[in-house]
Structure 1
Amino acid sequence: MFDDDDYEQRNRQLLFQGTQVLERTGQSLARSTQIAVETETIGHEVISELGEQREALLRTRGRLEDANEQLSSAKNILKSMSRNVFYNKLILILIIIIEILILACLCYLKFLKH
């Protein structure tokens, strides 16, 4: 009878230990599940934020391309204006030379012919 009590007590103790291990395992699984859910939530937030940043970068890239096109256009306009200023100066110099020649001819005709 003593052996049966020891056997039964040993079985109860093993059952109790097994139950404790099972409870700890269940708690560990619950914590792991909670961590997995939190990690998944953080992952979704990161992916969402990265998507927003990507959109912002694409908009910025588009604006930079537009600014680059406008700078190229402005550069061409400035070149054209510079060329026009040069031609206007050249024409002005030619007009002044022609006026000087006309004045010289008039002076020659008025003073030397009399």
Structure 2
Amino acid sequence: MLLKLNSSDNRLLHEQVAGAIRRAITEGECVPGDRLPPARDLSQVLGVNVNTVLRGLRALRDEGVLEFRRGRGVTVTHGAAERSALLDRVRDLVADAAHLGYSKSDLIDMIREIP
């Protein structure tokens, strides 16, 4: 798995780590059932603290993209690619709405109006 962070990205480092892993899954570098390298190895590759990597991994676990299993490590879930792609589209929508002056709550209201 080839991961790297964008130095011009202004998001928090753990969000960048999660985004890099999401991107790897979306691009097919990791498929459902694949085990991720240990957090220590990822931290060395990315040049960030291991706690930063763990925080990014936990965020992806909470999203349902990754699964933590004692003795088996961290694996990509079966719904990860679809969910990851959908989350990317939602993030793009939120960014587009913000550019037009709409808040997240405005978007939620618009979605509720859709039959």
Task: Give TM-score, length-normalised by structure 2.
Answer: 0.22
Higher CA-based Rg: 1
Of Structure 1 and Structure 2, the greater helix share is in 1
Of Structure 1 and Structure 2, the greater strand share is in 2
**Higher RCO (Cα < 8 Å, 6 or more apart):** 2
